[in-house]
Structure 1
Amino acid sequence: MKRSIRRIHVPLLAPEAIKPHLVSPKQYAPGRSTALVTQSWFSANGLPPRLRAILEQAPEWSGVQMLDAWLERQVDLEDGMASPSRCDALAICSLREELGVLTVEAKLHESFDWTINARLARGLSVGETTRTRRLLERLRLPPEGSGHLRYQLLHRVLCAVLEAKRYRARHAAMLVQSFSAKASRFSEFHDLAVAMGYGTVNQDRISGPIVIEGVGLRIGWVSDPA
């Protein structure tokens, strides 16, 4: 049975208060990306400075102000599956006279989950197979030639589009907030950018926009070493 996403929220009064909302409290351990992203956003009480600087490279995001943000935000992927997707952070932003939606994937050294090919090789359920196929379809990625892409990144990009549509926003962005000084896993992000048609992307530069389901989506890799 599909679980309802709770839409009633309370403020986070301390970074550690995120623990009950994690898949496992062990995720909030010193030096792990979950703890780092929580502390980063809690400390800023707004957009972390590095993320704001990258967003403002895009004309429509110039002067961006965060209105509200959620950590461990659940997003309905509209595929009938019981489990929602989870964003490390999601922010609703003011872009002059309209809204923009930002999703964030935090990374230290860990990968962006399995590749599509690796997931399929494990033997997925009918529902999991359908979810994977729908992710590719909605992002206009052909099944053939997309097997090397990372499953987690597909989630985060589509979440940005879907939440933008839910908030009636024309602009969205998905940023990787990397706490690694070595930019670990940047190649996995770059693979997705090329596959989606963004072309070559560079660290600490926002991409151009691609319109997906009526939403202008930009992506970027933000170096924010811990």
Structure 2
Amino acid sequence: METDNTQSLSAASYQLPFKCGRYIIELFPGPKQSIKENHSDNKLNLVLLGMSGTGKSASGNTILGKKQFLSRASSVPVTTECQVAETVINGTCVRVIDTPDIFDDDIKSSVKNQHVTKCKQLLQSEPCVFLLVMQVGRFTDGERDILRKLEKAFGSEAKEQTVILFTRGEDLQRADLNLEDFLQGCQPELMNIAEQCERRCVVFENKATRQHQVTELLQTVDEMLNK
């Protein structure tokens, strides 16, 4: 069971090398949106996407630094609606959006569309990054064309705004592997997904409260958005 760490994150207590000043990103067709550097209203959306059971909600809690989203072992999906929670990291309001599984081929299209519409409403107009959550050691048939499903839901440019977040990083540690070792030895289809996302990949151990995981994630986000 995950530890409920309710410690508040703030710019003073949780400094990261993370800036929003140069972010100009277009999520949907229309005028580009930007945020002014060092503005108190700086916001960034991190949208957790992936199949059921990959650890989306647990990863959201790791980013937030507290147990905000319900996360537990279950044979049925735990997250059934889009949810949003916020924290402040280095002066930026990070809005974490947790989502149900919208990639399952067995889910009705009408239900998927409802979830996608709700997610887009939560995004508002701030810069957005999709966190494609996948579990180390588990690669399913439904994930083989997951980028196509992502682009169908959020537009043809979505993968350019995507970071792959691998969960169960403790499994890599037990196997004495680092992320690069894992990618080199993974299935070709998974490697292709990583390559299409320009190898923007990070690893989380959601059972551990290791701040460096969030630091590494936001550094990757920073590099992507300012490329």
Q: Verify same fold: TM over 0.5.
A: no
Q: Which structure has greater strand proportion?
A: 1
- Higher RCO by CA contacts (8 Å cutoff, separation 6 or greater): 2
Give the TM-score, by structure 1 length: 0.33
